[in-house]
Amino acid sequence: MNFGISPGNQAVSQITIGGHGMTARILTWGATLQDLRLDGYENPLVIGFTNFQDYLDHSQYHGVIAGRVINRLGGARAIIDGVEHRLASNQSGGHMLHGGTVGYGARDWRLVDRSAMHVTLALTDPDGSMGFPGTVETRCRYSLIEGPSLRSDLMATSDRPTLLNLGHHSYFNLDGSDDICAHHLAISADRYLPTDGDCLPTGEIAPVAGTTFDFRHKRAVAGDYDHNFCVADKRRRLTPVAELSSPRSGVSMGLLTTEPGLQFYTGQGLSGGGSCLGDLRNAANAALCLEPQMWPDAPNHRHFPSIALTPDDSYHQISQFVFSHNPT
């Protein structure tokens, strides 16, 4: 289905997949998850806009695959293979956020293949794009599998040493309410990364014990967060890291990932603009993000897991969102 025309004058396609008790709609623009539905539950599970223009005017990375480097890079600079590279700054303070002014979430991806229950999209990111060296070939595969689950496979290679840290950036709301403060959340992390006034990691790796960052036991969200939780020290096998639920709707979402970091953002910066599917709101705290990724600003903190990608390596992130519905 044609969903609009991108700034690059490319037709934006909307692809619908369904199976195992779920339906998802994917846009070629930004490899965006526009809509996600669970059989037996009426509301969308993510904030998605009803028309393409709202993605251009109001999106704050809604449902996109963010890259070449998700999250923040302090000073929009990095040493790559011994050479300093100045990167595109798109955040106050002169930093880079989610890959710069034209990151992967604001690009035309190509449709590679599809079936009833999966779709694969591809993006070629050229050498020098947003200041990064190397041409990167990226693929994103969304699949609906048993669970019911939405699985995302993010794969990439580069022809030169570069940086790569991809991530899925949906805003989740599991009960259709005006805010997610009463959602309950558990995160399997005993450490997190404190941040400065620009939301950049200070470099400290702090224990969650005795703080408001302790989600080792499920509790109400109740607060504003935009922090990385350290669920591991390196990429590993697919492992459960978080569970989100709404007592109001009885909908729960488990999250498994291969990534060592999980950015938890409570959407306090959402603008309120745009027309959303299912009459969900796009206002502050109307939804939250759980973004599997490597730790943010890693090139500026040598003790963080590296996000370097060389021609000898290949990148493969797997994240899986598992849903259930137990109405009271």
What local confidence, expressed as pLDDT, does residue 96 receive? 98
Is residue 238 within 8 Å of 149, Cβ to Cβ? no
What local confidence, expressed as pLDDT, does residue 1 receive? 87
Average pLDDT, rounded, for the chain = 97
User: Phi/psi class of residue 22: alpha, beta or left (left: φ > 0; alpha: ψ in -120 to 50)?
Assistant: beta
What local confidence, expressed as pLDDT, does residue 76 receive? 97
Contact partners, residue 207, CB within 8 Å, separation at least 6:
190, 191
- pLDDT < 50 regions, the chain: none
Structure tokens at 131: 């200041």
What local confidence, expressed as pLDDT, does residue 277 receive? 98
Q: Is the peptide bond before 68 cis (omega within 30 degrees of 0)?
A: yes
Q: Is the peptide bond before 148 cis (omega within 30 degrees of 0)?
A: yes
Active site residues: 169, 291
What local confidence, expressed as pLDDT, does residue 78 receive? 95
Q: Is the peptide bond before 151 cis (omega within 30 degrees of 0)?
A: no
What local confidence, expressed as pLDDT, does residue 327 receive? 86
Contact partners, residue 186, CB within 8 Å, separation at least 6:
215, 216, 217, 218, 219, 242, 243
State pTM to two decimals.
Answer: 0.97
Q: In the chain, how many H helices and how many E strands?
A: 1, 26
Q: Please report, for the chain, the start and end positions of each structural domain, with discontinuous segments joined by +.
A: 2-325
Amino acid at 41: Y
Architecture of the domain whose range is 2-325: Distorted Sandwich (2.70)
